[in-house]
Amino acid sequence: LNVSEIHAHFTNLDATEIADAFPRLRSVTIRMLHGWCEDCGKPEKMQLCGLVTFAVKCKELKNLEVHVDLESEIPSEDDIESKMPGTSRSPLKKLCLAVPEGQHADAMKLRAFLRRIFPAVTAKEGPIFVYDEEAWSVRGPKQLNEVWKT
């Protein structure tokens, strides 16, 4: 599924509806034309818990590229365990998260969360954080891109 250049927000509800409708997706790319547009009519943004939705419901997903609100709450281990019990693991290998410039997150907590839900994303590859610009070519917060390698 590749949706590019849309002028809208991508929310947790959108993530759930896509994952429910297409559980056998192998790749999801949602790129918004203007990043976080404040006048799009939808004030919500996809939060970090939206990533768990893809990990749980799309068992064949290998590539995920979406906008995410880094300042949203990182789901607790109990929340994750209730949705991904025991050895339930996502096969995702490529993760690219577009984040609003200026947003920050606890890099170590974020790394632990992402490694828990997407263990196949290797330390060598790591997730890629970009600032949400049209080209998705500007690397995002250095501390987030670098902490994965530690």
The rounded distance, in Å, linking the Cα atoms of 50 and 53 is: 5
Residue 119 pLDDT:
86
> Quick one: tokens of 23?
């559980």
Estimate the crossing angle of helix 49-57 against helix 12-21, to 10 degrees: 0
- What global pTM score does this model have? 0.79
Residue 130 pLDDT:
66
- Find all residues with CB under 8 Å of 102, minimum gap 6, and list them: none
Residue 148 pLDDT:
59
- Between the CA of residue 102 and those of 64, 71, 99, 137, what are the distances in Å? 22, 10, 9, 17
The rounded distance, in Å, linking the Cα atoms of 8 and 39 is: 9
The rounded distance, in Å, linking the Cα atoms of 112 and 119 is: 10
Q: pLDDT category, 150, cuts 50, 70, 90?
A: low
The rounded distance, in Å, linking the Cα atoms of 129 and 111 is: 12
Residue 60 pLDDT:
93
Q: pLDDT category, 42, cuts 50, 70, 90?
A: very low
